[in-house]
C-alpha cells in the first residue's frame, strides 16, 4: 500500500507526533510532549493517521461495499463517545484506501488514555442515505505512539462479534521543515526525471517562523479578524510516487459585523452633514424654502432608517456570519451572507509550504428590498434617464430667455469643489497655526518651510474658487434671498427681473431681460466675489513680504533702525500698491468697512505695539523679545488670512450646496432610495474586500515583489460569480456588478497598531461615498517588515474585476429563452480592465515581482485565451472562470467566489479549483483527481458551511452527543438535507416521550 509504506533513508528527528526511541515503550512525559502540539506551526495537528481497509465482507456476497470510516473518541472520565471525523465514501471495493487522513488538532485535548473507535459503514444507496455498520475496532492513542512502526492492524468486528475485515492505521511522521528542506543552492535540476523550476527566494526563509505567524488560529493579526476555524487533512499521491500533504481550513470573520457597524455610522454622519449644509444656507424665499423643507424631510427619513439599522447591528448577539436563510432579514441587510475564508496549505515532497486563499461570500445584493424592479444597473439607468428628462424639460422651459441651467458635468464639478474646499480650508488653517508656532519659536527654517506649504495650499484654494461655475452659483443663491425678491417686486417694463417657477415641484431661477447677467449687479456685483478671493491672495502676499523682512533682519542683525524704517516705508508702499491694484479689503469682524479708502484692517499693517520701529533700540533685543516680536508681527496677518479664507470658503460652499439642491430636488426620493440600495450592496462587497486584503497582506508580508506591486499599481481583486442570468439572480448580478465597480473608490492605508489586543488590530474606515479609506493596523514587528513607501502612509489602490458564468439549470433556461447580454457585458468590461492592469504592470514592474508557476503557459497567452473565451458565444463556458482565476493568482491578486448563498455552487467551484491547483502546480496523480474532488466535497470544510446554515450550530465534530444518536451522524454528513428530517423526527420523538411520561 503506497500510502502507508515506510519511507526509505535516514529519518530526521520529529518534533511532535511520533518519537522513535531505542525501546518499544515511551515514557508518559514523551507522549505528553508529543500530544502537546507543534509550537512552530499551531495549525499542525498533534496526531494524524491514515486509514485503509482490507477484505471487507458484506452479507450479499455478489456486492462489494461502498464504505467509509467514522471516527469517534472518548477520553476518561468521559462516559460517552464523541464523533470526531469521517473519511470519504469509496465505492465498489473491498480494499479501500482513504485519501482523507484523520487529524487531531491542539484544541482536541486528547491524551495517551484517549480511546479511538473506528466504525466502518456500507452505504447501500448514497442518494437516499441508506447504510448500515459493517464493523468497528478500538485502540488507545498510547498504543499507536508506542508501536515501533507507528502502524496498527486491527480486526473489524460486527455487532454479532463476527470478523468482517481488517483496518490499518498508520500515523504520519511530520519532519521539521527546516531540517527537511534543502537549501536553494542545492536544489537538484530534476527529481525522478521531472524538471524542477527555480524556487523563489522568499520560500527559502524560515518557513516555521512564517507559518507560525500566519496561522489562522494563533497569528496576532489573523486571529483578531478570523475565528471558528475548521480544518481537514488529506494525503494525495503524486505522479512521482510521493505524497502531498494538504491542510484545508475554513474560518468566518468578525468583520461581517464590525465593518457594517462602522460603515452605517459613516453614512449617518454624511447624510446628517448634508442636512446641516442645507440648513446653513440661510433665509430663502418662500418657494425655495418649501423645496428645502421637502429635501430635508426626505433625508430625515433615510437617516431614521440608518439609525434603526445601526441600533440593530449594535444589539446583534448572534454568530459572526449571516446564514443564507437571513439574506432578506432587514436588521442584517448590510452584513454579507456566509462570508468565509477558504484556505488550502500544501506541503510538497521537498517540505515547501504553499498557501492558497479564497474569500467566499453570498452574492452582494439587496435581498431585503427585493428584485421586482430589477437590480442596480437598470435602476441607475432609469435614474439617469429621469435626470436627463428633467434637464431637457428645464432647458425647453427656459429656452425663450437667458438662464442658468446646470449640465450633469456641473454637478460633478460642484461636488469636487465642495470636497476641495473642505480639505484646503482645513489645511490652510493648520499651516497658518504652524507658521504662528514657528514664529513664536523663532525658527527661520521652520518659518520658510511652513510658509511655502501655506502659500501653496492657499493658492490652490484660490484657484478652486476662481471659476465661472462658482460665480454663477453665487448669483443664483443671491437671487433666491427674500430681500432680492423684494427689491424686484415692482420692476419697470424695460427692467430685468428674476422669475421663479414652480413646475411639478421643480424650482428654476432665471434672469430675463436684455442682459441677464447685469440684472444681478444691483445687489451682487460680479466684482464683489472677485474681491473676496483677491483679498485672500493679497493677505497671503502681505504675510510673505513680512516673513521676508523678518528673515532678512535675522540674517543682518547689525542693521536695526534703518531696516525698521524701511519696513514701515515699504509697508506703506505696499498699501498704496494694493489700493492702486483695486484690492478690496474685507474685515470679517466688522460691517462698517465698505470701501478701499476706509481705515485698513490689521492685515495691512501690524499693531503699533508690534511695529518694526519698536525694534530700533540702542541695545540689541533679547531672544525672548525678538521671538515675541516675530509672533506679534505675523499674528494679525495670519488672523486676517484665516478669516478671509473662511469667508471665501463659506460663500463658495453655500453656493455649491444650493446648486446641488436645485439639481437633486426633482428626483430626490428616487435618488435616496437608489443610494440606500447601493449602500447595502457596497457594504457587503467592501467587507469581503477588507478580509481579502488583510489575509493577502499577511501572507505576503515578506514578499518584496508583491509589496512593490501593491504600492505601485494597486491590488488586483478578482470576483468570480456563478449567478444565472434568469429571474431574481439576474437582478442579483446587477447589484453585485455595481457593488464591485464601486470598490474603485476604496483605498487602503497600513498603520502601526496602538496596542496588542484584538480590537487594536481591527480595520478602521473613514471617508464618505465619494471615497472610503480603510486603515489596516499591524503589530509593530509586522509593520517594520513593510517597505518605506507603505510605512509612510501611501494610499494603496484596488483594481476590481468581475467574471460571471451561470452554471445551474436556470442558466439553461436563460440561454434558450432569455437574455445573457448582461453576463457578456460584465465579462467584456472586466477583461478590458484586466488587460489594462497587466499593461500597467509591464510598464513599471519586472516579472520577478510575480510568483513562480509550473504552468508552461505564460501570462500573455493566458490573457489571449481568456479573451477568446469571453468573446466566444459558448454556453456555460467555465473556462472563463478557470483562466481568470489562474491569471489572478499569477498576478498576485485576491480571489473571491460567490453564488446566491455561497453554499452549493461555491463549494463546487472552490473544491474544483483546489484539485486543479494540486494537479497542475503540485503534481497530484491524475488517476486520483475524481476521488480527491469527491473527498473534498463530501467531508471537506465546505460541508461545514452547509451544516452551519441548516442548523445554525457548530460543526458536528464539536458536539457532545448521546451515544444513541451517534449512528445517525454519518448518514447526516453524507446527505445534509436529511438533517431537517432528523431534527423533525427527533423533536417528535421527544414530544411523544414527554407526553407518555
* Catalytic sites, residue numbers: 899
Residue 79 contacts by C-beta under 8 Å, 6 or more apart in sequence? none
> Each residue of 748-784: b (16+ CB within 10 Å) or e?
bbbeebeeeeeeebbbebeeebeebebebbbbeebbe
DSSP bridge partners of 777: 751
Which of these, 543, 531, 573, lies nearest to 642 by C-alpha position?
543
Q: Who's near 500: CB < 8 A, 6+ residues apart?
A: 285, 287, 288, 480, 485, 507, 508, 509
The count of other CB atoms within 10 Å of the CB of residue 681 is 27
Please name the residue that has the C-alpha cell 456588478: 737
- Beta-strand pair 82-86/100-104: unpaired
Q: Based on the number of CB atoms within 10 Å of its own CB, is 817 exposed (0-12), middle (13-18) or buried (19 or more)?
A: exposed
Query: What is the three-class DSSP state of 573?
Result: helix
DSSP codes of every residue in 660-707: HHHHHGGGHHHHHHHHHHHHHHHHHHHHHHHHHHHHHHHHTTT-HHHH
- DSSP bridge pairs for 766: 773
Three-state SS string over 442-475 comes to CCHHHHHHHHHHHHHHHHHHHHHHCCHHHHHHHH
3-state secondary structure 840-874: HHHHHCCHHHCCCCCCCCCHHHHHHHHHHHHHCCC
Q: What would you report as the CA-atom Rg of the chain, rounded to the nearest whole angstrom?
A: 36
Helix (H, G, I), strand (E, B) or coil at 342: strand
Q: What values do phi and psi take at 737, rounded to 5? A: -65, -40
Is the Cβ–Cβ distance between 235 and 50 less than 8 Å? yes
CB atoms within 10 A of CB 962: 9
Counts for the chain of helices (H) and strands (E), in that order: 29, 22
Residue pair 790/711 in contact by the 8 Å Cβ criterion: yes
CA angle 354, 358, 359 (to 5 degrees): 145
Angstrom distance (rounded) from CA 439 to CA 633: 9
Distance CA 713, CA 710 (A): 6
- Could you say which DSSP state residue 786 is in? S
CA distance linking residue 907 with residue 945, whole number of Å: 9
Residues 6+ apart with CB under 8 A from 491: 497
Burial degree of 593 (CB within 10 A; 0-12, 13-18, 19+)? middle
CA distance 470 to 466: 7
d(CA 346, CA 426): 52
CB 342 within 8 A of CB 942: yes
- Residues 227 and 340: their CA atoms lie apart, in Å, by 10
Residue 412 and residue 669: Cα distance in Å, rounded? 19
Q: What is the DSSP string of 149-178?
A: TSEEEEEEE-TTS-EEEEEEEEEPP---HH
Instruction: Tell me how far apart the alpha carbons of residues 897 and 911 are, in angstroms, rounded to a whole number.
Output: 11
Amino acid at each position: 500500500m503506497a500510502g502507508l509504506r515506510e519511507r526509505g533513508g535516514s529519518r530526521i528527528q520529529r518534533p511532535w507526533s511520533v518519537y522513535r526511541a531505542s525501546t518499544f515503550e515511551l515514557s508518559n512525559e514523551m507522549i505528553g510532549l508529543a500530544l502537546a502540539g507543534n509550537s512552530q506551526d499551531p495549525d499542525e495537528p498533534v496526531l494524524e493517521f491514515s486509514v485503509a481497509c482490507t477484505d471487507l465482507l458484506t452479507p450479499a456476497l455478489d456486492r462489494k461495499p461502498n464504505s467509509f470510516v467514522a471516527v469517534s473518541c472518548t477520553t476518561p472520565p468521559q462516559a460517552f463517545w464523541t464523533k470526531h471525523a469521517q473519511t470519504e465514501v469509496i465505492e465498489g471495493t473491498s480494499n479501500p484506501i482513504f485519501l482523507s487522513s484523520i487529524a487531531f488538532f491542539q484544541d482536541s485535548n486528547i491524551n495517551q488514555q484517549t480511546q479511538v473507535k473506528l466504525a466502518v459503514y456500507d452505504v447501500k444507496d448514497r442518494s437516499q442515505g441508506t447504510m448500515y455498520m459493517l464493523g468497528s475496532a478500538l485502540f488507545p492513542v498510547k498504543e499507536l505512539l508506542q508501536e515501533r512502526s507507528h502502524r496498527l492492524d486491527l480486526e473489524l468486528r460486527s455487532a454479532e462479534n463476527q470478523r468482517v475485515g481488517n483496518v490499518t492505521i498508520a500515523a504520519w511522521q511530520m519532519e521539521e521543515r527546516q531540517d527537511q528542506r534543502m537549501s536553494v543552492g542545492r536544489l537538484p535540476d530534476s527529481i525522478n526525471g521531472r524538471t524542477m523550476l527555480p524556487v523563489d527566494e522568499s520560500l527559502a526563509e524560515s518557513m516555521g517562523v512564517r507559518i507560525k505567524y500566519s496561522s489562522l488560529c494563533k497569528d496576532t493579526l489573523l486571529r483578531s479578524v478570523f475565528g471558528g476555524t475548521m480544518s481537514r487533512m488529506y494525503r494525495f499521491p503524486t505522479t512521482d510516487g510521493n505524497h502531498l500533504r494538504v491542510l484545508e481550513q475554513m474560518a468566518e470573520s468578525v468583520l461581517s459585523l464590525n465593518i457594517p457597524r462602522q460603515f452605517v455610522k459613516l453614512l449617518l454622519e454624511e447624510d446628517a452633514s448634508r442636512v446641516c449644509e442645507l440648513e446653513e444656507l440661510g433665509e430663502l424665499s418662500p418657494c425655495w424654502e418649501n423645496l428645502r423643507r421637502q429635501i430635508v424631510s426626505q433625508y430625515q427619513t433615510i437617516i431614521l432608517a440608518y439609525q434603526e439599522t445601526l441600533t440593530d447591528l449594535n444589539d446583534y448577539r448572534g454568530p459572526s456570519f449571516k446564514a443564507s436563510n437571513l439574506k432578506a432579514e432587514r436588521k442584517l441587510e448590510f452584513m454579507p451572507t456566509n462570508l468565509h475564508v477558504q484556505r488550502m496549505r500544501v506541503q510538497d515532497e521537498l517540505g515547501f509550504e504553499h498557501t492558497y486563499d479564497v474569500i467566499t461570500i453570498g452574492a452582494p445584493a439587496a435581498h431585503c428590498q427585493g428584485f421586482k424592479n430589477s437590480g442596480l444597473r437598470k435602476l441607475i439607468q432609469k435614474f439617469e434617464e429621469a435626470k436627463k428628462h428633467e434637464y431637457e424639460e428645464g432647458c425647453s422651459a427656459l429656452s425663450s430667455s437667458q438662464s442658468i441651467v446646470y449640465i450633469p458635468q456641473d454637478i460633478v464639478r460642484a461636488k469636487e469643489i465642495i470636497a476641495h474646499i473642505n480639505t484646503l480650508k482645513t489645511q490652510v488653517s493648520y499651516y497658518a497655526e504652524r507658521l504662528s508656532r514657528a514664529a513664536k519659536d523663532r525658527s527661520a527654517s521652520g518659518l520658510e518651510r511652513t510658509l511655502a506649504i501655506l502659500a501653496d495650499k492657499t493658492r490652490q484654494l484660490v484657484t478652486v474658487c476662481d471659476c465661472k461655475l462658482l460665480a454663477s452659483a453665487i448669483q443664483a443663491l443671491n437671487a433666491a434671498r427674500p430681500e432680492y425678491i423684494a427689491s424686484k417686486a415692482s420692476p419697470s417694463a424695460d427692467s430685468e427681473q428674476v422669475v421663479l417657477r414652480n413646475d411639478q415641484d421643480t424650482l428654476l431661477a432665471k434672469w430675463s431681460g436684455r442682459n441677464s447677467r447685469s440684472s444681478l449687479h444691483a445687489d451682487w456685483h460680479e466684482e464683489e466675489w472677485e474681491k473676496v478671493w483677491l483679498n485672500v491672495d493679497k493677505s497671503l502676499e502681505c504675510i510673505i513680504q513680512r516673513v521676508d523682512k523678518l528673515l532678512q533682519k535675522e540674517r543682518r542683525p547689525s542693521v536695526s533702525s534703518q531696516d525698521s524704517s524701511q519696513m514701515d516705508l515699504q509697508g506703506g508702499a505696499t498699501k498704496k500698491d494694493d489700493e492702486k491694484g483695486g484690492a478690496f479689503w474685507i474685515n470679517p469682524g466688522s460691517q462698517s468697512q465698505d470701501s478701499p479708502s476706509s481705515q485698513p484692517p490689521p492685515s495691512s499693517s501690524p499693531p503699533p505695539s508690534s511695529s518694526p520701529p519698536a525694534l530700533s533700540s540702542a541695545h540689541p533685543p533679547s531672544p525672548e523679545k525678538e521671538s515675541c516680536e516675530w509672533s506679534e508681527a505675523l499674528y494679525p496677518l495670519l488672523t486676517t488670512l484665516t478669516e478671509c479664507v473662511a469667508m471665501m470658503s463659506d460663500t463658495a460652499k453655500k453656493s455649491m450646496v444650493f446648486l446641488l439642491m436645485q439639481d437633486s430636488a426633482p428626483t430626490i426620493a428616487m435618488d435616496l432610495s437608489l443610494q440606500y440600495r447601493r449602500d447595502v450592496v457596497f457594504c457587503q462587497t467592501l467587507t469581503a474586500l477588507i478580509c481579502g486584503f488583510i489575509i493577502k497582506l499577511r501572507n505576503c508580508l515578506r514578499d518584496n515583489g508583491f509589496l512593490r506591486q501593491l504600492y505601485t499599481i494597486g491590488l488586483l481583486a478578482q470576483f468570480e460569480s456563478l449567478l444565472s442570468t434568469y429571474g431574481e439572480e439576474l437582478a442579483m448580478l446587477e447589484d453585485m456588478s455595481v457593488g464591485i465597480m464601486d470598490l474603485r473608490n476604496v483605498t487602503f492605508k497600513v498603520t502601526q497598531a496602538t496596542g496588542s489586543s484584538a480590537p487594536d488590530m481591527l480595520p478602521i474606515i473613514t471617508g464618505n461615498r465619494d471615497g472610503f479609506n480603510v486603515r489596516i493596523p499591524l503589530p509593530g514587528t509586522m509593520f517594520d517588515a513593510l517597505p518605506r513607501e507603505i510605512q509612510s502612509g501611501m494610499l494603496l489602490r484596488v483594481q476590481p474585476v468581475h467574471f460571471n458564468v451561470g452554471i445551474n439549470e436556470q442558466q439553461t433556461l436563460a440561454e434558450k429563452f432569455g437574455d445573457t447580454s448582461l453576463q457578456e457585458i460584465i465579462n467584456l468590461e472586466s477583461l478590458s480592465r484586466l488587460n489594462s492592469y497587466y499593461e500597467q504592470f509591464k510598464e513599471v514592474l519586472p516579472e520577478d515581482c510575480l510568483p513562480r508557476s509550473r504552468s508552461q503557459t505564460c501570462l500573455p497567452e493566458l490573457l489571449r485565451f481568456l479573451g477568446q473565451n469571453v468573446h466566444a458565444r459558448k454556453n456555460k463556458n467555465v473556462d472563463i472562470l478557470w483562466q481568470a482565476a489562474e491569471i489572478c493568482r499569477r498576478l498576485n491578486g485576491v480571489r473571491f467566489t460567490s453564488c446566491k448563498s455561497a453554499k452549493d455552487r461555491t463549494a463546487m467551484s472552490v473544491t474544483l479549483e483546489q484539485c486543479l491547483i494540486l494537479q497542475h502546480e503540485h503534481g497530484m496523480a491524475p488517476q486520483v483527481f475524481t476521488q480527491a474532488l469527491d473527498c473534498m466535497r463530501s467531508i471537506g470544510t465546505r460541508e461545514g458551511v452547509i451544516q452551519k446554515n441548516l442548523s445554525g450550530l457548530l460543526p458536528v465534530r464539536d458536539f457532545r452527543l448521546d451515544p444513541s444518536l451517534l449512528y445517525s451522524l454519518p448518514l447526516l454528513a453524507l446527505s445534509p438535507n436529511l438533517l431537517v428530517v432528523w431534527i423533525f423526527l427527533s423533536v417528535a420523538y421527544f414530544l411523544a416521550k414527554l407526553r407518555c411520561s
